[in-house]
Each structure stands twice: as structure tokens, then as C-alpha cells.
Structure 1
Amino acid sequence: MAKKVLVISTLDTKGQETLYLKERLEARGLEPLLMDISMRGDEASPADIGPGRVAEAGGSSLQEVRDSRERSKITNTMIRGGAKIAQDLYKEGKLSGAVGLGGSTGSLMATDVMRALPFGVPKLMISSTAALPGLSTRYIGTGDIALFHSVIEISGLSDLLKNVLDRAAAAMAGQVQDDIVSPRSAAGKAIALTMLGPCEKCASSVRDALTREGYQVIGFSAAGVCDRAMEDMIADGLFSGVVDLAPGGVGEHLFGFMRDAGPRRLESAGEAGLPQIISTCSVNHMTPAKSKYKPDYAQRPKYDLDRFRTWIRLSADELREVAGAFREKLNRSKGPVKILVPLDGWSSVDYPGNATYNPEEDRVFVEELHKGLNPGIEIVEVDANMEDPAFAAAVVKASIEIL
């Protein structure tokens, strides 16, 4: 049977271009399903999934959408409806991939719909604004979306645009072939591992050791986006355990800093009942944007990672607040949890002579974490720096015990 591919576009403004893409997908042996997320236009849509159906799935009606002057509200309605329809099609086994076509607004809407589909479902966004500063990261977010920069405006079927759409159709066809490994092929043995430059040596040692034990270890850079994506992928059932060496995104979310990993950081594994090993890399540092610096930040101990990034040490009160958030999240865990704390520095940044090195103040976090922590959650203190081989060995030992 032909693989079904969802084509997301605004046919009121990009009708002929979308229909051409449909023809090219059909020529590649695919079965395109057109989803029209238009919010204006009076002509009947030629789409398989018209804007009226999308609006209704979003909790409104096409008439309400067209009558409204609240652009943000109606945009969210169409995104919500499109996402629900896409998810339903996927759950029913009627969807093998998704491709979008648009400028700024169309790309924002189409990629929001695509991100409702799980990791591993091919997603391709053909956008004339993919290279605009700030928009590409917004289009991708935490999704595994491939951006195809059209360079030229998606307006009129010139030979140049046909070339773009031809190549996009070929790329989409290539992504939905049967010989691509399923991301769920490792179910039951895949482990999520958070990593960060200042604990990279530890993470690499843990990954290598667990790989030798027969696990597939999938790393995530805990810089705010990838660890946020990790939470979604855990909830989707892609992992059987988590080794969370760098959960600093919890505190970054509390304070609105650059490594903010969202409100659900440190929650998905617990909700799924998965075993968790938790440690403390970067938890005692913050990374505020320069525009959000408070007057006292300049007086705090700091460490320049490079010319773009500076880590500033959290205060004792902030450490207590972060510990409280950890405790509240971990206490809801349905599976086993072990917390490993290195006593001689929580990263390669924490070493004697560095201004931010303060193991005594780090104990404020540990002491606060102990208060009211579920008895079944063990805190293991290791007399080492996080980057010492002894600490990596302790993480591996604890992981094997509960994974």
C-alpha cells in the first residue's frame, strides 16, 4: 500500500504550489493527504482535510475563525485542530510522514502541527523563511523536523520553485521507506543520558560502561532544548531508564534562565515508573541572559565557559529553592530513584582555586533535599569530583542495580 503523507499548507495563498507538491509526491508512489490550515479565503478548499474540519477539531468553527480579528487566538485554534487530527491519523496507522509548505506564519503553524507527531515520524518543512534569525529554532523547537529552505518565495510555479518542490518530494519519499530502522527497535534496553560539557568525561565513561552491559545509551545535551525533548520522548515510551547527570534545567526554569528545560523537566520518567539515576552537574550554577542580569550578579562567583557563556553560582537560598523543586518532582516518581552527589565538586568547573568552587555551600542543596524526601529515594554521597573516574564508576554501579 502507498505510504500516506500529510501535506500541511494554506491553500488560500499557496494553492497551486501545494497541488503541484501533491502531484510530485504521487509520482513518487506516496499518497498525500492535504490539510488546509487557511484562516481566510471564501472559496471551497480542494483539501482532503479542509479548514472547517481543522477549526472544529480545534474547538471552534470556520465561520468564527474567519470573523475573528484576534489573529493569535485563531492561529492557535487551527494549530490545535491540526495537531489533533495529525495525532489521530498516526494512532490509526494512517500516517507515515508529514510535509509543510509556507512562509513565516504558515511555517510556524505547520511545524507546530508536526511537533504533535512522535520522534521518528519523518517531518519536512519547506519554508521561504527558514534562514531568518530566530525563526529556524522556533520552527524546530524540540521536534525532529528537517528544514528545507526554498530561498525563493513560494509564490507562482516558476521552474525554480518546481525544482525546490521536486527535490522536497524526493526527500520525503526517501524518508518513509521501509528499510529505515524504527526508533522503537531498542524498546526495553534504551537508556536516556543527559550530558553537558563540564561533565562530559563522566557521561562518556558511563555511556561506554552501560553500552558494554548491553544497553543502548542515547545522549541529550542538557542545555534546555534537548533535555526538554528528552522529557517528551520518555513520555512517548522510547526509553526503559534514565541517567540524569545534568538536571540543571529544573532551576533554570524556576528562574527563567537560558538553559530553561520547561516545567516538566525531571517528571516524565517518574510518571512512567522508569528507574532513574539523578546527579547534580550544573545544578549549582545559573546562566541568565545578559539582559536579565540583576545588580548582585556581577558580585557573585562566576566562571566563563567561553566568550559567549558565563556560569554564575547560585546563592544558598536559590539552592534551597531548587532542592525543593527536585524533592517535589522526585517524590511523585512511581519507579526507583537514586541520587548521587559528588562531594568534591559537581562538574569540571568545580575545582579548588576556581571562584565558584564551594562544596560546603553545595551541602545546603543536599540538606534541603533530604527534608521530606520519600524514604525509598536514596541519596548516595561520593567522595570525588563528578569528573573523577571514581564517581563515574559509582554511577555505573548504581545504574546497573536499578535499571
Structure 2
Amino acid sequence: MTTTKTKDIAKTIVILCTLDTKAVETAYLKNQIEARDCNTLVFDLGTRGNPGMVSDITREEIYKLGNPGETLITTENRVKLGEIMTTGAATKLKALYKEGKIKGVIGIGGATNSLMETNIMRTLPFGVPKLMVCSVAASQGLASRYFGTSDIAILHSVIDFTGSNELIRDILDRAAGSIVGMVEKLNGIGPDKNFGAGGYVAMTQLSMCERTANFVRTRLEEEGHQIIGFSATGVADKAMEELIIEEGMFKAVIDLAPGGVGEELFGGTRAAGKERLEAAGIKGIPQIIAPCAVNLMTPARSKYKPDYYERKRYDLDSLRTFLRLNSQELGVVARVMAEKLNASKGPVKFLMPMKGWASFDTEGMAIYEPEADKIFVEEFKRLAGKHIEVIEVNANIDEPEFGEAIIKAFKELINSAESALVGGGCG
């Protein structure tokens, strides 16, 4: 049963917790948030012992939402039970947000709770405050799963949640202040908030095409465009695809660094998912594509194949080594990219720099191999549909000449799209 609150719901914060194990900590956090003039809604995700305090959204309600028609049954299958509770809580959280009844969410817990609670938080769109207070936030193999592709903030408590002591109270004081501060700075973000009403421009980049990215961003911002950057290292560019599909906040994409496509094919660390390079096409928005680092891959050292040790390479730093794709691999990537872009409902321009695809991919460098890159160019041109314009630019990707070409292509596509809107109709 849901408890009726008397406070103004304008600043209501959801607390995700397990009241069979963390009731004391939850009660303290709840009091600290409410002392800062915010309302709370406590979700009880516990499934084993009895709850140590009264919740607003009970475990029974959550369970039924995740597994309609059933009642809560204690089971040893914790994985299945966790999935049901995650689904139910996410359903409830999304409904409350769409009704305008909540403004943020906070969770507390260790490894298991953090995985479940951050999965629930990802139900909420970009811009809604999400804070996970996690005792094991730095654990290898878990940290990236907590964040995923969502704008979740994580407070590493370091100490575990084991009741009430001075250090735990200090952590929860800071957590309460943090989530309340986020909510107070929202300026009206909610279901009625329309990010990108005027249309943002998404742009991917890497350090090896950073000068071009900065050049393009500066010029276009001077002309009134808002450029939203994404580092194409496998997570942010994947998040970009999701934002394009789910939020609809972009009017165009300048995809300087779509190398996540090849990394996904060959198991590199910049792999960005099987849907990479598809979202803009599905939405029908203009795309300007460039191949920054598309001719390179970054496999984990533990997964090196014997021939990898013989390849041309570039050590960007002590952690990242880029290996050259061979001719066969370049052909495969060209075919996959062409297939993805051929399905686009909107216009596409693919700009090919003919003097290197990275700032360090230049004449005199061991990794420089323009003849191999031509294999990609020719294969892509052979397969590209008629709505895809391939433009060869006699420059390195990180030179001003290439930046100018990107800006020219962008203006042509945007002007064409705007003209179509003005002149179009329902027929």
C-alpha cells in the first residue's frame, strides 16, 4: 500500500533500498533529505527478511508489477527474484516520473543492490538526478555496469552499510545534500522538459581528431548551433545512439569517430554495440560521417592473436595501443558501415581524408598506410546507396582543411533539411 504524503511533491526524491538489511541507514537518509525540505518516497526492494521500517512503495507492490498476477514468494533463485523486483520498480519509477510526481532518485547498497538499483535508475531520462551511494563502486568488472550509458552519479562510500555509526552518518549526510542540491538546480526538468527543442547537433570525437572537432564546434557554435560532444570510446558513443532514439533531441549528427563499429566486429575495447551507426538513420536526421581511427583497433592485451604482435602500431599512452586493421578487415568494416548507412532514412555525407585518419596517422609515421585506407574507400563507394555522398578530402583528418570540409557538408545538409521542412507537407 502506498502511503499518502502531505508535503509538496514538487521536490520528491525516490529512495531505492532493501529494508530487510538497510532499514536503519534508509531511515537516516530519509530524515536527512526531508530535513532539507524535500519529500521522499521509499521503495523497498528487499525480498528475504522482514522490513525494518514502513515503506511508501512496498515490496509486494513492486513484485506484482514485475510479475503480474503473482504474490511474493521467498525463493532461492535470487537472480530471477532480482530481475522481477528490478522490472517492477523500474515500471513504478517510470510511471511516477511521467506523472510529474518525482524529481530524482537515490540508492544505497553494496554490489548486488547497486547493480539492481542503477538498472532501475536508468529508467529515467537524461537530466533527471540519479545518485547511487555504493560501498564497492571501484570494484573491477562492476563499475562500468553501474554507470552503463546513463548519467548516474556515484558516491563511493568506501565503508559498508552496517547500521549506524559516525562514518556512515557522514556519508549519508553528504549523499542527502548531493541529491537535494541536484534536484534544487533542475529548473523545471520533468516530463514536460523538451531537451533540444531547437535541435542539438551530436558530434563524436577522439583525441586524434580533437583539433578538427574543436574547430568545427567553435565555428558552428558561433552560428548558433549547440554541439553536444561524445567521446567515441565505446560508452559515450553508444549513449549517443540511445539519446538519438529515445530522447529525439538531435537535428543532425557529425560522427567524426565511428570506429566503434569495427571494434564491435573484432572485439576491441572501443566496441559500441551492434546498433552503432544506426540511430540517426532510423530517425532520418542528417549525418556527416568521417573515419577517425576506423582503420585502427584496440584489442585487450589478454586477447591478442599471434599476428597482432607483427602489426603496425601506435602507443597512445601506457594503457592504449592502436593496431592497424589489415586489408581484409578494412573491407569488412566498409561493407558493414555501408549496409548500416544504406538503411538511413535521411541524407548522409561521408568525408574521406586521403592523408591519414588520425593526428598521428601522417607521412613518416610507421602507422601511415594510405594505400590500405583506399581499400576501405573504394569498397564503401562501391556499396554506398545513392543517398550517400562520398567526398574525398586531400588532407589529414585533424587538419583545418578537413574541418572546413566538415562545416561545408554540414551547412549543405542542414540547409537542405530546413528547406524540405519549409516546402514539405502532408500532401
Structure 2 length as normaliser, TM-score?
0.88
AA at the equivalent of 1:89:
L
Q: How does 1:356-371 map to 2 (within 5 A)?
A: 356-371=367-382
Pair 1:348 & 2:356 matched: no
Percent identity for Structure 1 against Structure 2: 49
Q: CA contact under 8 A between 2:149 and 2:238: conserved in structure 1?
A: yes
AA at the equivalent of 2:227:
V
Aligned to 1:25: 33
Query: Which segment drifts farther, 125-134 or 198-207?
Result: 125-134
How far the C-alpha of 1:62 sits from its partner, in A, is 6.8
Unaligned runs of 5+ in 2: 1-7, 415-427
AA at the equivalent of 1:288:
P
Per-residue CA distance 1:258-296 (angstroms, 9 max, x = gap)? 001112211221222211111100111000000110011
Pair 1:104 & 2:111 matched: yes
How far the C-alpha of 1:302 sits from its partner, in A, is 1.2
Per-residue CA distance 1:203-234 (angstroms, 9 max, x = gap)? 11111111111111111111111111111222
Structure 1: how far apart are the matches of 2:309 and 2:279?
Answer: 36
Aligned to 2:231: 221
Aligned to 2:101: 94
Q: CA contact under 8 A between 1:36 and 1:45: conserved in structure 2?
A: no
Per-residue CA distance 1:172-197 (angstroms, 9 max, x = gap)? 11111156485855432321111101
Structure 2: how far apart are the matches of 1:57 and 1:277?
Answer: 43
Match of 2:244 among 226, 231, 234: 234
Match of 1:379 among 386, 390, 394: 390
Per-residue CA distance 1:359-392 (angstroms, 9 max, x = gap)? 1211221222234422111111111111121111
Aligned length: 402
AA at the equivalent of 1:198:
M
Q: CA contact under 8 A between 2:287 and 2:347: conserved in structure 1?
A: yes
Q: CA contact under 8 A between 2:33 and 2:180: conserved in structure 1?
A: yes
How far the C-alpha of 1:60 sits from its partner, in A, is 6.1
How far the C-alpha of 1:61 sits from its partner, in A, is 7.1
Q: Post-superposition, which runs of at least 4 consecutive aligned residues in structure 1 deviate over 6 A?
A: none
Aligned to 1:394: 405
Aligned to 1:15: 23
Structure 1 residues 116 and 156: alpha-carbon distance in aligned structure 2, compared to 1, 3 A threshold: same
Match of 2:276 among 265, 268, 286: 265
Structure 1 residues 158 and 307: alpha-carbon distance in aligned structure 2, compared to 1, 3 A threshold: closer
AA at the equivalent of 1:106:
N
Q: CA contact under 8 A between 1:60 and 1:77: conserved in structure 2?
A: no
Match of 2:78 among 66, 71, 77: 71
SS of the aligned residue for 2:74 comes to: helix
Pair 1:191 & 2:201 matched: yes
Pair 1:158 & 2:168 matched: no
Per-residue CA distance 1:96-144 (angstroms, 9 max, x = gap)? 1110011111111111111221111001111222233443333222221
Unaligned runs of 5+ in 1: none
AA at the equivalent of 1:109:
M
Q: CA contact under 8 A between 2:60 and 2:72: conserved in structure 1?
A: no
Q: CA contact under 8 A between 1:189 and 1:214: conserved in structure 2?
A: no
AA at the equivalent of 1:139:
Y
Match of 2:330 among 296, 308, 319: 319
